[in-house]
């Protein structure tokens, strides 16, 4: 399998371990149209990659992923065709992560926000540097948390906590996230690579078929939850993308101002 046609994701092999790195320098790896489309198909390519047994997913530099690029979101406002395409890609992204039997380790060198956080949470084992922050502040830009956050947060930390964090958009430190079970491990930044690589090598050296099929068994229930929620969540997100509040928020953030929502 060759990944050379990807523009915003790089691939590196170390034996049977494949490291995928989201790379949009200067943006904290924020998701734009190109990265979103590539994320919607890369896990299907990885599924067909017979030279890889374990995947490490990370971001370039000091961030995992800052979520949706605000200029991209702003440009899509009021464009049903653009948002319909994004919804289709979003469903493929979530299902690609859930259907991939190979274990995925998320390596968070820094912040994982919005869609970036959602992607990390759908991975199987999550390591974050202690300085990283995680959260899903869709509501801060006037959007519904419809890209998968409404599915995965309740599964990991329960409905009460999930609703609080999704409705406020509050961020958590890596330590707080690990304490409540949102991620697996928060480690000092200098220990991150050692911890991630040790787990990747342990899994790659294990009974890989048993490991993959165990993951598939666990994910069978998670896929049922996702199928029950995703259409509703994405449809509500599409509706919120058309609101004045979303436009107000993206305009304000691009100008580095505080949005003043109208409730419309």
39-58 tens-digit pLDDT: 999 999 999 999 999 999 99
What does the mean pLDDT of the chain come to?
Answer: 94
The span from the CA of 238 to the CA of 227, in Å, is 17
69-111 tens-digit pLDDT: 988 888 887 777 887 888 899 999 999 999 999 999 999 999 9
The verdict on residue 241 lying in a domain is no
- Helix, strand, coil: what percent of the chain each, to 5? 55, 15, 30
The verdict on residue 193 lying in a domain is yes
The verdict on residue 258 lying in a domain is no
First to last CA, the chain: 48
Task: Give the per-residue pLDDT at 218.
Answer: 97
The yes-or-no verdict on residue 253 having pLDDT over 80 is no
Q: C-alpha distances in angstroms, 115 versus 36, 137, 148, 227, 263?
A: 10, 9, 8, 18, 24
The verdict on residue 197 lying in a domain is yes
The verdict on residue 179 lying in a domain is yes
The verdict on residue 226 lying in a domain is no
Number of domains in the chain: 1
**What CATH number is given to the structural domain containing 58?**
3.90.226.10
The span from the CA of 136 to the CA of 114, in Å, is 4
Task: Give the per-residue pLDDT at 74.
Answer: 81
The yes-or-no verdict on residue 238 having pLDDT over 90 is no
- The β-bridge relationship of strands 104-108 and 125-129 is parallel
Q: Which domain holds residue 154?
A: 9-204
197-228 tens-digit pLDDT: 999 999 999 999 999 999 999 999 999 999 89
132-162 tens-digit pLDDT: 999 999 999 898 988 899 999 999 999 999 9
The verdict on residue 209 lying in a domain is no
**What share of the chain has pLDDT > 90, as a percent?**
75
The verdict on residue 129 lying in a domain is yes
């Amino acid at each position: 399998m060759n990944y050379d046609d990807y523009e915003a994701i790089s691939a590196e092999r170390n034996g049977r371990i494949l490291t995928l790195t989201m790379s949009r320098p200067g943006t904290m790896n924020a998701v734009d149209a190109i990265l979103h489309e590539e994320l919607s198909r890369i896990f299907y390519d990885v599924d067909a990659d017979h030279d890889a047994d374990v995947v490490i997913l990370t971001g370039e530099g000091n961030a995992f992923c800052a979520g949706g690029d605000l200029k991209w979101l702003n440009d899509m406002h009021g464009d049903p065709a653009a948002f319909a395409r994004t919804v289709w890609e979003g469903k493929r992204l979530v299902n690609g992560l859930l259907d991939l039997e190979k274990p995925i380790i998320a390596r968070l060198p820094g912040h994982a926000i919005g869609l970036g956080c959602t992607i990390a949470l759908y991975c199987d084992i999550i390591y974050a540097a202690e300085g990283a922050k995680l959260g899903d502040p869709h509501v801060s830009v006037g959007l519904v948390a419809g890209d998968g956050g409404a599915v995965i947060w309740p599964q990991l930390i329960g409905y009460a906590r999930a609703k609080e964090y999704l409705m406020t958009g509050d961020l958590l430190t890596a330590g707080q996230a690990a304490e409540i079970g949102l991620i697996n491990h928060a480690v000092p930044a200098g220990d991150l690579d050692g911890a991630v690589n040790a787990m990747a090598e342990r899994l790659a050296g294990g009974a890989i078929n048993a490991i993959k099929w165990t993951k598939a068994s666990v994910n069978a229930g998670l896929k049922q939850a996702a199928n029950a929620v995703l259409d509703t969540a994405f449809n509500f997100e599409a509706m919120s993308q058309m609101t004045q509040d979303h436009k107000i928020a993206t305009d304000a953030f691009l100008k580095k101002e505080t949005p003043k929502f109208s409730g419309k």
